[in-house]
Amino acid sequence: MSKIVNVEFKLRTYEYYKPFHITGSISESSTNIEVVIETDAGVKGYGEISPSFRVNGEKVEALYKLEEAVKESIIGMDVKEYRKIFEVLDRFFSTPSVKAGVQYAVLDAFSEEIETPVYYLLGGLKEEIETDRTVGMDTIENMVKEAKKIFSEGFNVIKIKVGENLRKDIEVVGEIAKETKGAKYIVDANMGYTPKQAIEFARVLYRRGIDISVFEQPVVASDIEGLKYIRFNSTYPVAADESARSKYDVYRLIKEEAVDFINIKLMKSGISDALAIIEMTKTANLQLMIGCMGESSLGINQSVNIALGTGAFVFHDLDSHLMLKENAFRGKFKQENAKIKIL
């Protein structure tokens, strides 16, 4: 038997090494919920809930109170039948990070019972992935310094946060490109631009010969037409992040032909919607990246296993654990600079 006998939520706060500044938000710490699921075989599965109020309207204090509701929903169910449990947990659709952490803890418990890593349960498509690292907003000088450091440490994909000041943003991306030749760039405006500003940004940089691999969420989440306008009036591939939370969001983005890329984050979709989005985007010939919120190594472990198991992602933006102070590393993976594989 592999029946769930207990579910436990534990609040955990992690400080950032330095405040993380993106459009409209500066984070100094990340408060997450560690999820522990126990089965009648005495096995424990671990997951992490890392909510974003900015993206999903989720407050960790409210989510913490859902422990009882989750218990009532899944205690007595068998982790071997994890798809049945996923369906029950899909009812928590308005708290997708809870869905993510609990669904993953179920997979982790099953994986421990059969002594097979989660990425094999999901298909074992890849043995290794490479993550980017992110340069948060700061002065131009500090951003360039940070990018050079990241690049020199062996990270070949650099994610650059922009969106609060068009002129400065153009300059900073230009300067970083000059100093990190050979790197690839993901530029994320976190909804900071109007469609016209986004096109201006892309045109100026393109004329300067700078290649950007992904231009992420230039406009507000609800502006699907804006995304489409930018997609067809500029050269860089456009990605939806804040616009793409559930599988229904992605279905609409596909129908509207609004973007080239989807940024999947488990905390926006849970594991079940993430798997559905992967199949939908593959079918529609869209490309995928995987990102994170404020996960510790415990939460990044979830995305690493999904990424390796499904092999679905062109870019991996799984670096939040590198920005947070942790007492101990909790991932079941090994990381050497950008390269990540399962132990």
In terms of phi and psi (left: phi > 0; alpha: psi -120 to 50; beta: otherwise), the region of 183 is beta
Is residue 34 near Mg ion by the rule CB under 5 A? no
Residue 257 and residue 282 in contact, taking contact as beta carbons nearer than 8 Å: no
Residue nearer to Mg ion on the CB measure, 129 or 189: 189
Residue 204 and residue 170 in contact, taking contact as beta carbons nearer than 8 Å: yes
Among 48, 241, 273, 295, binds Mg ion (CB under 5 A): 241
Among 188, 249, 273, 295, binds Mg ion (CB under 5 A): 188
Catalytic residue among 99, 159, 161, 332: 161
Kindly state the smallest distance separating residue 161's Cβ from Mg ion, in Å. 9
Distances (CA, A) of 101 to 199, 265, 298: 37, 12, 10
* Residues 147-186: x where in contact with Mg ion by CB under 5 A, - otherwise, as a string: ----------------------------------------
Q: For Mg ion, which stretch binds (CB under 5 A), given 10-18, 86-94, 117-125, 233-241? A: 233-241
- Which amino acid, 222? S
Q: Which residue is nearest to Mg ion (CB)?
A: 241
161 noted as active-site residue: yes
Q: For Mg ion, which stretch binds (CB under 5 A), given 106-114, 195-203, 210-218, 265-273? A: 210-218
Residue nearer to Mg ion on the CB measure, 162 or 183: 162
Residue 212 CB partners (closer than 8 Å, separation 6+): 173, 185, 186, 187, 202, 205, 236
Residue 30 and residue 20 in contact, taking contact as beta carbons nearer than 8 Å: no
Q: Tell me the C-alpha distance between 88 and 61, whole Å.
A: 23
Subset of 106-135 contacting Mg ion (CB under 5 A):
none
Catalytic residue among 99, 247, 265, 268: 265
Q: Tell me the C-alpha distance between 39 and 335, whole Å.
A: 30
Is residue 319 near Mg ion by the rule CB under 5 A? no
| Pairing mode, strands 261-264 and 287-290 | parallel
Q: Which residues are catalytic?
A: 161, 265
The residues that touch Mg ion, with contacts defined as CB under 5 A, are 188, 216, 241
